[in-house]
Amino acid sequence: MISVGVVGATGLVGTTMISVLQERSFPVDRFHAFASGESRGKTVRFRNQNYPVEIITPETLCKGIILFGATSAEVAEKWIPQCIESGAAIIDNSSAFRMNPEVLLAVPEVNGHLITGTENLIANPNCSTIQLVVALNPLAAMRNILWVSAATYQSVSGAGYPALDELSRQQDGMEIEPGIPHLHENIITGIGPPDTNGYCDEELKLMHETCKIMNLDFPVFASTARVPVRTGHTEAVVVKFSSPLLAEEAASILMNAPGITVSQCGCSPVDVENTDTVVVDRIRNYPDDPTILQFWVLADNLRKGAALNAVQIAEVWGRALKVSI
């Protein structure tokens, strides 16, 4: 049995992590719910018990605890180093340490074999990156990828509870205050601040994290947008291979790959909400070039895109240590 804590336990990803831990019967001996001072006095329910929200400090930790981080990068940069020094093992969902060359960025279906059990910190990738690499990896094992183009249509839940609440208010016809994004019946063609080249933060994550996880070097042409969907990210993907890969063969490869469901009927975010699979939909070749493959990729961004992937990392980590998980 293992001592487990969720940092950011009252947020949208944190509450989903707690649900996934229960659903997958993760062997928890002691459970801790950590959050900011704003959640002081609240309780979190886990396995039919209410746990008071704690403020995370080195003194509140037990040595050997596994911590699932569900905070912003700025907050993670403050609590993670102190918790590592206290002897915690951390699976962090923020972007704070993802591109650190000394930190493993893990998606179990892709590079889970690299998890040794000795890590004190493993980074959980960006939600849009996770579903993309799950789809790309089986294809990359059969053909060399020259480049990837990915346009994402990302749901509002990716921005947390406040954004979902704001979407509901706007759908109910409430006036939008100055400075608040217009989410209802709108598409926001950029997620996060742009860099000097004009790429927004979410696009840079997709571009850099994909190659790090797959341990390959190819350009990823990323365009990301926020759409008025509550849950479920959708990606339009184009892949250029070094040699032909027919759609029928690609579908067969993907059907036999872990974590993937293949569809040819036009899947939607509603179909993947509350599921754990990555759906690869409408696989097709560009008519004039069989080295170009197009398809859609969909997944529940709160589950496989965040909480589920983190718990799967912990399961692999435990097996590497020969702990019964």
| DSSP secondary structure string for all residues of 247-311 | HHHHHHHHHTSTTEEEE-S---HHHHTT--PEEEEEEEEETTEEEEEEEEEEE-TTIIIIIHHHH
Closest listed residue to residue 202, CA positions, set 233, 167, 175: 233
Residue 246 lies in a domain: yes
Predicted pLDDT of residue 61: 79
325 part of a folded domain: no
**Does a structural domain hold residue 102?**
yes
* pLDDT (0 to 100) of residue 58: 73
How many structural domains does the chain have? Answer: 2
User: Residue 59 above 80 pLDDT?
Assistant: no
Report the pLDDT value the prediction gives residue 20, as an integer from 0 to 100. Answer: 98
Host domain of residue 103:
2-125+306-320
pLDDT given for residue 111 in this prediction? 98
As a whole number, mean pLDDT of residues 293-309 equals: 98
Q: Contact at 8 Å (CB) between 296 and 282? A: yes
In a domain, 151, yes or no: yes
How far from chain centre, in Å, is Cα 227?
17
- pLDDT of 324 above 60: no
Distance, in Å, from the CA atom of 64 to the CA atom of 44, rounded to the nearest integer, reads 22
Residues 259 and 312 in one domain: no
Mean of per-residue pLDDT scores for the chain: 95
Which residues have a Cβ under 8 Å from the Cβ of 63 and sit 6 or more positions away? 86, 87, 88
Looking at the structure, tell me whether residues 161 and 104 fall in a common domain: no
- 98 shares its domain with 161: no
For residue range 141-196, what is the model confidence (pLDDT) as tens digits? 999 999 999 999 999 999 999 999 999 999 999 999 888 999 999 999 999 999 99
Strand, coil or helix: 104: strand
Residue 32 has pLDDT above 70, yes or no: yes
Per-residue pLDDT band at 54 (split at 50, 70, 90): very high
Instruction: Give residue-wise pLDDT tens across range 233-292.
Output: 999 999 999 999 999 999 999 999 999 999 998 999 999 999 999 999 999 999 999 999
> In this structure, what token pair is assigned to residue 269?
């975010």
Structure tokens, 117: 């059990």
In this predicted structure, what is the pLDDT of residue 325?
Answer: 57
Amino acid at 160: G
Is residue 245 domain-resident?
yes
What is the 8-class DSSP label of residue 192?
S
Say yes or no: 193 and 283 in one domain.
yes
| Dist. CA 119–CA 80, nearest whole Å | 13
CATH for 99: 3.40.50.720
Report pLDDT for 270. 97
pLDDT at 1 over 70: no
Residues with catalytic function: 127, 233
Place 38 in a pLDDT band, splitting at 50, 70 and 90: confident
> 286 with 311, same domain?
no
